[in-house]
Chain A
Amino acid sequence: MRVIKLFGLDIKNKFQRAIEFRLNFIITLIISLCYNTALPIFQFFIFKGINGFPGWTVEEVILFQAVLLFWTGIIEFLFGGVRNNISKEVLHGGFDRVFLWPHHPLVSIFTRGVDVFAFLTVVAGFAGIMIVSFRLGIQMSWYTLLLFILFLFCGIVFYVSLLIIYCALTVLLIKMDRLQEVLDKIFFFGSFPVDLYHGFGKIFFLVIFPSALWIHIPSKVLLGGVDEISFYSVITSLLFFMCAVLFWEYQVKKYTSSGG
């Protein structure tokens, strides 16, 4: 509850900040709106042209892309500012504030990274999922919905774990520009169906390094074809999270702040 309250506070704060500069707010809103409307349409034409991914029909790939949009929207909305915040604050000394608030530092870091404009991406993704599900005639049972939410939640947990590792390394190394790119590339690997990989590659992304939790598995849940092996990713994501928190706790003791 406390975490939700803190997210609520950050959303309110960021929204107030965004509307303080009215013209900037309106222009950003229009650009986000155009981008989020145009992106699914372009994707539809692209995947129709290339006949989708192997083993996936065009409609299924569009659903996959809608889930990707929805997922991207969620993580950008909740944690879009985390990486920049921590890089900037650790380098310039503002990071000290995190330790002065009466919450775990990770809670303080992760509940201050809201990007309000990404809400439009969430809405576009959600609308995309609804439209394609309707076209595909997907019957959404409670079980499907719960499973979708469970995997989505575990995907967020796994993503947060990677961000925690990033934060811990930033605290230690202070400046690590390329680390952001590594995270982006990891996310890029997760934005394709794991069916593109075979044998160990597929198991790797499904269980060992479960980036399939982000888009592949939730899409498969909606399409009704989730593999049994996918359930192991729930355990792996939680293990990743525990290890990331332990790594953070170890690193944070080495934080030296900046001078003065």
Chain B
Amino acid sequence: MIVVRNLSKTYKVSSADNSSLISSLKSFISREYRYIKALDQIDWEVTQGDIHALIGRNGSGKSTLVKILSGVIYPTEGEALINHCNPWKDRIKYVRNIGVVLGHKTQLTWELPAIDTFILYKNLYSVKTCFFNENLKYLIKAFDAESIIRKPVRNLSLGERMKCEVICSLLHAPKVLFLDEPTIGLDLISKDQVRSAIKNINKELGTTIVLTSHDISDVLSLCNKISLIDKGRFLFKGSVNELLEVHASYKLISIELLKRVDECSLDGFSYIKTGDYSIQMELNENTNSIHKKLYQVIDELPISDITIESVKLEQVVKSYYEKA
């Protein structure tokens, strides 16, 4: 579905020092530029029907990748094929088969009800009336949006607007949907509604979805594949389970103590004190060593309660960034 080979994008940015008037004037006369590799010869694949998360820190290159893959900007080098189309060479044909939701940039007409923008997009994409009516009916049901599409967009809440944004991007039944932070700023209930609707659409229509988000709960509830990107290179590509398995040996042990203990009795452990009567230990060893450590803890410490947690996705992602 999506195949990216050797893709690079370099931005030329000025490194002007505007800390003082003299340095501002200097940079006005002679400005120095530096080249930033937003994407560095990356290879990437997304299978048809997947919901694929693209995760990365701010400035890691994920938005650049989405913009290249949606035909908005040209890469410096490399190739990309989506549905057998090159996004920047066959752009007009290609964009008929994609939908893009940019979480912080609206495509809806602010003054009018969302339904008017939907009709505008129907005409922009030359969608046949009967298909449009049927599809719109389906999407309104999926997003539970019957009551909101006739209100002026300016009067909608952020969650309601996001529902309309996603509906608008799906009106022409695209094969690929790029979602750039679709749940940004939404409350828990709105997040859940948008997520379950996206999941249903992926299941029922087979739409391939590429999701970029900083919200790990989006990834856990929606995605079966994940790619971690940092400094323009992929740190990990695979399924969410694979990513977690890599760190399966990591355990977080939270211990509630019956009484205060001397620091010398904790000497044999690597721990963090989280309260007067509570400590936390991070273990990242093989299963036998973990068992041994646990027996040691139970034998040597006055325990009132103990919780053993496996690794959380947030921690794994964080550890990848730290390594990078």
Contact = CB atoms under 8 A, between A and B. Distances in A.
Interface of A: 5-6, 9, 13, 16-17, 20-21, 93-94, 96-97, 99-104, 253, 255-257, 259-260
Contact of B92 (A16, A96, A104): A104
A230 to B, nearest CB: 37
B63 A100 contact: no
Contacts of A5: 123
Contacts of B261: none
Interface residues of B, number: 30
Contact of A260 (B63, B92, B116): B63
A16 B115 CA distance: 12
A21 B67 CA distance: 35
B96 A97 contact: no
Contact of A20 (B59, B102, B152): B152
Contact of A102 (B73, B95, B116, B120): B95
Contacts of B98: 100
Contact of A100 (B11, B72, B93, B116): B72
Interface in B177-230: none
B11 A256 contact: yes
21 contacts: A5-B123, A13-B109, A13-B116, A16-B112, A17-B109, A17-B112, A20-B111, A20-B152, A97-B105, A99-B71, A99-B72, A100-B98, A101-B95, A101-B125, A102-B92, A102-B125, A103-B92, A104-B92, A257-B67, A260-B63, A260-B104
A6 B124 CA distance: 7
B8 interface: no
A97 B104 CA distance: 12
B91 interface: yes
Contacts of B71: 99-100
A5 B126 CA distance: 11
Nearest to B74: A253
Interface string B51-76: 00000000100010001001111100
